[in-house]
Every structure is written in structure tokens, then in C-alpha cells.
Amino acid sequence: MTPKSLHLEFFGPYRDTVIDFTQFSGTPLFLISGKTGSGKTTIFDGMCYALFDQTSGADRRPQAMRSDFATFADTTRVTFVFTQRDRRYEIVREPAQTLQKKRGTGVTDVAASVTLTVYQDDQEIRQLTKAKQVQEFLQTLLQMNGQQFAQIVLLPQGQFRRFLVAPSDEKATVLEQLFNTEIFARWADQLTEQVKRNRQQNKTALAALTQLQRDLTWDSANQATAQDLLANRKTQDLLALMAQQQAATKTAEAQATAAYQQAQQQEQALTRQDTREEQLVQDQAQLKLTREKQAQLQAQASAMDQLAAEIQELEWTQQLLPKWRDWQQAQQLVTQRQVAVDQQQRDLATTRTAADQAQTSLDGLAPLKANLAKWQEEQVQNARIRPLYQQIEQTQTDLAVAQKKATAAQQAWTTATHNVQQNADQQAQQQQIIAPQEHLMTQRQTLQQTANTLTTWTDQAQRLQRQAESVARQEHQLAALKMQVATAQQAAQQAQQTADDLYQVRLRHQIAELSAQLTPGSPCPVCGATDHPQPAATTVADADVSTKRVKAAQDTATQKQQQATTLATQFTQGQTRQAADIQDLHQQVIELRGTIQTSDLLVPADDLAGIQEQLATATRENQTALRENTQQLAAVKTAKATLEKLTAAATQLKQRVEAAQAAAQAAQTAVERLAAQLTTQQAQLPDRTETLAAFTARERALTQRVTDAQSRCQAAEQMVTQTQERLTVAQTELKTAQTEATQSQHTLQTARAGLDAALTEHQLTLAADRERLEAQVAAVTQLTAKRQTWQAYQSHQERLKAAQETLVSRIGNQTAPDRNQTQAALKAAHQQAGQAQDRRYALQESWTHNDRIVTQLTQQLAAQQTAIQQTQALEELAGVINGDGPNTKLGLERYVLQTYLRQILVVGNQRLQQLTNGRYQFVIDDSPAASKKRSGLEIDVYDDHVGEQRSVHTLSGGESFIAALALALALGEVIQQTTGSVDVEALFIDEGFGSLDEDALMTALESLESVEGQHRMIGIISHVIELRAQVPNQLQVISNGNGESHVRYQTESDL
């Protein structure tokens, strides 16, 4: 991936800036320079935001990158163009922001958006506009996320130096995120949880086994032994004892079964004997009862003969019953028809009387009919006069309305004339307000220019004030740093003195040892003498000073001296920067006074505080004048709008005057016409004094009289008609009734003849035997009941006879049995069989219960043994993966991270040896650690000058930077190799070079240019002054002093 351009619009301090990376395509190394806070790192933030919707640092959100000076009309946007193989990619991304509405006024919240366009041979081949699609596409293309991109492309200031000296647990946190090794930690956690679950399951299973053993049922002989075995957890012995008991239970169960079967056979034989005896007793009792019932039936024989005769007589009466009922019904019909004839005769007389009365009433209404004709003629005359009265009333109403309209029209004419004059006066007033408009516009332009100028000067003065405050803070910081330098130098001197003293002590001790080993006559290794009158002696304290202790003291002295040197260098650099900042501040104050002096706005004060006070006063005065000018221009604008409305209204007002005048004249003409029409209509009335209301009342009274008379006549005529109709109906109904009465008499005679014939056949007459016949007719209803009684008697006799014959045959010559003896024997046999059955069931249930529990125990014991073995294996595996083993504190994830770190160090040593001329190389500290957190990822360096391995904490500031730089370069390369991401042909190093001396700086730059510059473009982000002279190709970020920055390119060819 090769960056081509980055377009920043209202992003950070950049208003509209394009970073053209192709300017440095021909050089391996370039410098991104600028003051602190000018926006150097913001360039890389823009690249990260365009690609991954995030910045390079966790403390900066994309929304916060919108420029402070951006207005609602300005859109924050980042456009990043890069190439990969033969394709060009353009990403345009905008954060969520509040912008001015495109239509209307006001602002609106705009959602974040992104567009990715892919080109091949300058032809667009694909475009994506959805955030998720763009994210997935870039992830597939680059094979890295935002964090990995930042680690590969940007080396942040101080971060890798902290990583270099961080303990293992902090390194592990960083490497986990970069190499996604969380899966190994999850494996370890899952194994630990599985071990916990298995242990709990084993504990639960053991409790279940114990409970199963307690659930076993023991006989009295084995109870005590079983309790001892259970208490001592001898499960196998317990199962052997139960096997013995189960065998004995089976034997006892077979014996109980045989006893039960024998008792059951005896019980069944006694049951059959008891059943036979019970049946014999019942048969003997039933035979006695049957004979008693036969005697009772024999006593009822005469009564049953009488009942049979009654049934025969009632059966003849039942046959006679239809003719008897026909005769009775004919008699009732003759009586009913005669009553109807009598009633019709009475109704006919009543109806005839009512008809005569109705005719008399109708004849009495003749005078009323004569008056009704007169009244109807008067109604016809009134109908002809009514329209004239209505016309007069309408004309009077129209005249009143016309008079009101005429009055209103006259008033409207007067008002319209007044409004025309008032409009003219208002136009003259607005013209006076509009007159000074041109002067006010010129004044506003001048005031706005003054405001812009004062704002620029105020911003410059505030920036200079912040620089002055920064200089003051630097003064305090330098004073504190000076004290630290003195303290560090003193500590270095003391540490060196201690090291020298220990070295002398160690030398004395070595000399004394050598002296003690001298043989007489041999030359001294120090002075060469052969005589040794007074050999050097040693003390116990001298003997305690070892070579290792001397070396440790010398290392401490060296470290203290390096610290003192580093602080002294920082103090000297701070003084240089402070002097430059003071000179720069003084020069900028002079330039600001000169700029203000050349203007006519004010005379600048001699100091910065006075200038700020002058600017504040002038700004307030200018703002007050600007507000007054704005108010006056607003009044002019309002007056112009009002004048336009008044001018447009003037034409309408004149038209309204003309219309009102015409309407007033037309209304007066209408009044005069209606008045003449009313006079003509009133002259046509027969009685000019009668009003419409009086006419209407008289007409209503006449209508009521006509209606009443018509109603009375119609009622009388209807009454005559109705009575005549009822009279005709009554005469017809009387004839019908008389005919039906004659017919009923004939029916009665026929029915009597039939009845008499039937009675004669039975030697009876109606006159002599009527009461007997009526009694028999009434008794016919009892015929069915009497038949049932006779049939039941006959059936009962037959059943008793059959039952007696059956019982006599079944009993034969048997005598009565002894029931008490048999039932006693049966009860004893039943009890014996029940006891045998209970014994058998108890033994079966005990054997089945114990057999089920023994089966469960055997199965669960096997499963428990397997589970315990699996748990032990899991515990061993979890111990190894978690680093809890007896021989190592290195878990699986830490081992994987160590493997990645070794890869990083292998690559990093190639660069570190070149950067340090072969002196240093990285090694992993494999010495045992006190805890898992501090094992596996500790980094040391092997110093070829002293031939020993030592901690990275002992490196100087410059050496630490070089080591961290080599480590960071290696980390980026390994990440690309591990994740399979694309090669990013760009690298940005953010600060850190200030800690290097001149030689180390040159070595680092040459190494970067030769080692990394062969593969990718390298940009160094720094404000260190020495780099400007060493790196000719530069992208200079220049602050405008008002929160904005712009860039300027410098190449080697420009020098």
C-alpha cells in the first residue's frame, strides 16, 4: 500500500489542506517538522480516520477532530488516496456533524458518511457507500485493523520505550491485542472451569453413592456389620455382604411361596364347601316361602272370579262407548245452536235501532251544510288576495334592507377616502427613514473591517500572551531541572567514590591473598623483592568485597553518571529552547506593535499587557458601534418593506374609494325604487287598513270553521253507512244460525236411533237403564288396570309352581348343615394364607429393592472411577496451560506470546546491531521468576563490549531510544508477516530523537535511510532543531497563529 495524497478539510487545524506524498516519492527519508501542537500527528490521524473511522490515539475521537474555527456552513471531510498493486483507491469520509440546512434557515444534525471508489487504469470499477461494506472491503484488502495499522505505520513517541522496559504482564496485554491470542486465554479459562465443574460433579456423585449405600435394607443379623462397613467406606465388602444376604433372601422366599400355595389350596376347598352349604340353606328357606305364597293366592280365587265377570261387562260397554258419545255430543250441539239463534235475534234488534238514530242525526245537519258552502266561497276570495299581501310584506323588507345598505355604503365611501390620505402620510414617513441607507452601508463596511483587524490583533496578542506564560513555566521547569542536575551529579560522584573505594578494598584483599601464598625466596608479584618482612594483611570486611560487588557498584556509578549526563543535556537543551522562545516572543511583539502603529485605529502601548487592554477597549467600542449600525440598517430594511407594502396598498385604496362611491349611489337608487313600488301595491288592497297579520288571523279562523263543519258532516254520513252495513250482516247471520239449528236436530235423531238399537241387542233401554249405563261408561277407564291385575295373578301362580318344583328337585333328601363350624375353619385358613403371602411379598420386595440399589452402585462406581481419572487428566492439562506446573511458570498463552516476541527480537536484532555497530542484541530473560505475571516476556540486552547480559533498564536515554526504535520496526514487520496484511510502503516515526547526541542521531538517520528506506518511505515527525539541518526533504507544518495551520514542502533540490 502506497499513500498518494491526503486532503483535510476543516479537520484539526487544517482548513483546506492537501498532503501530497508524491513530493517525497524519490527520497527514502523526509522530516515532518513544526512547533508542538501545530498538527503534525493530525496528518496521521487523518489517514487512520479515513481508513478505519478512528484516530491513531485512544484519547482522540473522530468527532473531536472537527476544527474549532469551522462554522455551520463548513463541512469536515477527509479524502485519502493510496495505491495497491495496479489499482487506485479513494476514500472520502465525513464524521457526524451539525451543519447549516441546505434549504431554509437553521441547522441540522448530519450523520457520518463514507465513500470508497476503486479505479483501475483511471477508470472507476467499483464504488461503496455503506459503512459496513467499506469496513469489510478494507479489512479484506489490507488484512489489518486500525490498531495494527497504527503499530505498523506510526511509531508513537515514548510508547515503544515504555514497552521495552515494561514488565511481562504489561507486555502481554499489548501483544495479546496485536496478535489476537485471547483464544489461548479462553482455552485456559474454559479448562479451569471444566475442572471446577468435574470436581463438583465428582463430589455430588460421591454423595449419591453414599446415599445409595444407606438406602440398602439389612436383616437383623447383618445390620451391625453393614453399619461398620459403611462408616469405614468399605464399599466392596459391603457389596459382598449384601450378595450373601440376597442369596439367603431367595431361599427364604422359595420356602414362603410353598407355604402360601399349600394354605391357598386349603382355603379354596373350604370356600367351595361353604358356598354349597350357603346355597342349601337358601333353597330350604325359599321353598318354605314359596309354599306360603301359594296358600295366599288360593285365598284370592273367588275375588278373581268376580274380577273376570267385571272385565267382561266393561269390555261390552267399551264397544258401546262410541254410539253413546255421538248421542251426547248431538244433544250438546242442539242446545248450542238454539242459544246462537236467540243471540242473533237480539243483535238484529239492537242494530236496527242504531241505524234509525244515525239517520236522524244526519238529517239535523242540513243548516250546517248551507253555511259550509258560504264559508268555502269566502276561502276562494281570500286565496286571490293573499299573494298581494305577501308582495307588500316582501317589498317592505327589501326597502328596509336597501336603506341599511345605502347607509353602510355611504360610510364605506367616507372611510375609504380617509384611508387614502392616511396611506400617503405613512409613505412620506418611511421615505425619511430610508434616506440615510447609503451612509449606513459605508459605515458598516468600515466597522466590519475594523472588527476583523481587531480580532486578528487580539488573537495574535493572546497567542503571544500564552507564549509568554509558556516561557515563564519553562523558567520554573529549568530551575527545578537545574536542582535535579545538581542532585544527580552529586549522586553520581558519591556512587563513583563508593565504587572506587570498593575497588581499592578488593585490590588490597587480592594483594593480601597473593602475599599469603608467597613462598620464601620467591619474588613479590608487586614489588619484585625476595624478602617479605611485612606481608599485606586482610580483614574480614575486605574479604566480603567480591568482584561481583565491585562490578555492581561500578554499574551503579555508570548508571548514575548516565542519568546526570541525560539531565544536564536536557537542561542545556531547555536553556537553548527558552532563549530561542524569548527571542521569538520579543520579535513577534515588535512586529505586532509595528502592524498596529501603521494603522490609524490606535497608538499601541509599549508592553503586551497594555496592547491587550487597548485592543479590548477598541473591540468593545467597535462592537457597540456595529450593533447601532445593525439596528439602523434593520430599521431601513423594515422601512423599505413597509414602503413597498404601502405603495401596493395605495392603488387598492383608490380602487376601493371608486367602488364605494358607485355602491353608495346604486344603494340610494334602489331605496327610491322600492318606496314607489310599495305605494302602488298598497293601493290595490280592498281594505287598505287591514294588515297582513289581521288578514292571516281571519283566514285561519275561517279555515277552522270549514274544517269543523266538514268533520261533523262526514262523521254523521259515515255512521249511517256503518249501521246499515251492520244491519245487513245481522240479518244474514240470523238466517245461518236458524239453518244450523235445524241440522243439529236431525243429527240428534240419527244418533238416538243407533244407541237404542245397540241397547236392545243387550236387552237394555235408555229410559230404564240410563243410570247403570252412565256408571259403566264412567268405569270403562278402569278396564286396563283390572286386566293387568287379573294377568298378574295368573302369572304369579305359574311362577310359584315352577319355582317349587325346581327347589324340591335341588334339595332332595339333604338335611340342614352346620354353618358355624365351616365358616370358622374357612376364616382360619384365610388368615394362614394371608400371613404366608405377606411373608413372600416382604422377601420379594426386600430382594428387588436391594438388587436395584446394588445395580446402581455397581454402575455408578465404574462411572465415578472413570470421572476421577478424567478430572485428574484435566487438572494436569490445566496446570500446564495455566503455568501452574511444578517446573515452569509459563502458561500456554504466555508461551505463544514469547514465541511471537522471539520472532520480533530476531528481526529487531538485525536493526539493533546495525544501529549500535554490533554492540547490542536483544535476548529474553529465561531466569525463573517469582510469579507468572513476571515470567516469559522480560527483555535483556547482551552487551558485546563487556560480554555480559544486562537489563534494558541500564541503557542510557539514547540507547533506549535506539533499542525501542529497532523493536518497533521489527514489531511492524512481524505483524505484517503474521496477519498476512499488505506491505505498507510508508513509516512515520513520532518524536524521540531529542534524546540522542549528535553521533547517535547521525547513526540512527543513516541506519533508517539504509535499512528501512530501501523498502518504504519514512517520515520523521519531530520539532528537534538538529533534524532540520540533517534531513533536507521536509514537510513543514506552519501555524498561522489563530488555531489554523498550513503546510509547505522543502526538497533537497530547493536548497
The rounded percent of the chain whose pLDDT value lies above 90 is 7
Q: Tell me the per-residue pLDDT of 2-18, one tens digit each, with 9 for 90 and over.
A: 899 999 999 999 999 99
Confidence grade of residue 81 (pLDDT, cut at 50, 70, 90)? very high
Q: Tell me the DSSP string of 256-306.
A: HHHHHHHHHHHHHHHHHHHHHHHHHHHHHHHHHHHHHHHHHHHHTHHHHHH
The pLDDT mean for the chain works out to 81
What pLDDT is attached to residue 120? 92
Asked whether residue 958 carries a pLDDT value surpassing 80, the answer given is no
pLDDT average, residue stretch 985-1008: 67
Q: Which residues pair with 98 in a beta bridge?
A: 109
More confident residue, 979 or 281: 281
Mean pLDDT of 540-560: 75
Q: What pLDDT digit, counting tens, does each position of 731-765 carry?
A: 888 888 888 888 888 888 888 888 788 788 888 88
> Cα separation of 265 and 215, whole Å?
37
Residue 528's pLDDT band (cuts 50, 70, 90) = low
* Model pLDDT, residue 82: 92
Kindly state the average pLDDT of the residues 175-196.
78
Using CB atoms within 10 A of its CB, is residue 600 exposed (0-12), middle (13-18) or buried (19+)? exposed
Instruction: Report which of 921, 395, 930, 301 is spatially closest to residue 671, judged by C-alpha positions.
Output: 395
pLDDT digits (tens, 9 = 90+) for 427-478: 888 888 888 888 888 888 788 888 888 888 888 888 888 888 888 888 888 8
Whether the per-residue pLDDT at 980 is higher than 70: the answer is no
Query: From the centroid of its chain, how far is CA 124?
Result: 41
Where is pLDDT greater, at 171 or 645? Answer: 645
pLDDT at 292: 82
The cell numbers describing 35, all together, are: 512547533
pLDDT value at residue 739: 85
**Who's near 1020: CB < 8 A, 6+ residues apart?**
29, 30, 31, 32, 988, 989, 993, 1008, 1027, 1031
pLDDT band (50, 70, 90) for residue 566: confident
State pLDDT tens for residues 843-868: 888 899 889 988 888 888 888 788 88
Q: What pLDDT, on a 0 to 100 scale, did the predictor assign at position 112?
A: 92
Q: Hey, what's the cell of 580?
A: 530561542
The SS3 assignment for 764 reads: coil
The per-residue pLDDT for 536 is 59
Nearest-angstrom CA–CA distance, 82 and 116: 11
- Residue 94 is predicted with a pLDDT of 94
Provide the pLDDT for residue 843.
82
Say if residue 722's pLDDT is above 70: yes
pLDDT tens digits for range 136-158? 998 888 877 777 777 667 766 55
Instruction: Tell me the pLDDT tens digit for each residue of 295-308.
Output: 887 888 788 888 78
How confident is residue 160, by pLDDT bands cut at 50, 70 and 90? Answer: low
Mean pLDDT on 78-100 = 92
Per-residue pLDDT at 589: 83
Share of the chain above pLDDT 70, in %: 90
Average confidence (pLDDT) over 200-205 = 82
Task: Retrieve residue 443's grid coordinates.
Answer: 459605515
* Rounded average pLDDT over 513-526: 62
- pLDDT score for 128: 94
> Based on the number of CB atoms within 10 Å of its own CB, is 362 exposed (0-12), middle (13-18) or buried (19 or more)?
middle
CB 73 within 8 A of CB 106: no
* Mean pLDDT of all residues in 682-692: 68
Residue 278 — very low, low, confident or very high, per pLDDT cuts 50/70/90? confident
503: number of CA atoms within 13 Å, CB side? 12
pTM of the complete model: 0.40
How far apart (Å, rounded) are the C-alpha atoms in residues 117 and 128? 7
Residue 5 or residue 412, greater confidence: 5
Q: Please check the confidence at residue 929 and state whether its pLDDT lies above 60.
A: no
**Domain coordinates in residue numbering, the chain:** 1-143+1026-1055, 302-363+729-783, 391-432+605-683, 440-519+537-596
Per-residue pLDDT at 931 exceeds 70:
no
CATH number of 1-143+1026-1055: 3.40.50.300
pLDDT for res 807: 81
Give the strand pairing for 939-943 and 948-951: antiparallel
pLDDT (average), residues 209-237: 84
Give the C-alpha separation, 960 to 966, whole Å: 10
CA Rg value for the chain: 68
Q: Which of 159-163, 579-583, 779-783 has the lowest mean pLDDT?
A: 159-163
pLDDT in tens, 321-335: 788 888 888 888 888
pLDDT at 546 over 90: no
Q: What is the pLDDT of residue 9?
A: 95
Q: What is the pLDDT of residues 105-142, one digit of tens each?
A: 778 889 999 999 999 988 999 999 999 999 999 888 88
> What is the model's pLDDT at position 973?
77
Whether residue 98 is predicted with pLDDT greater than 80 in this model: the reply is: yes
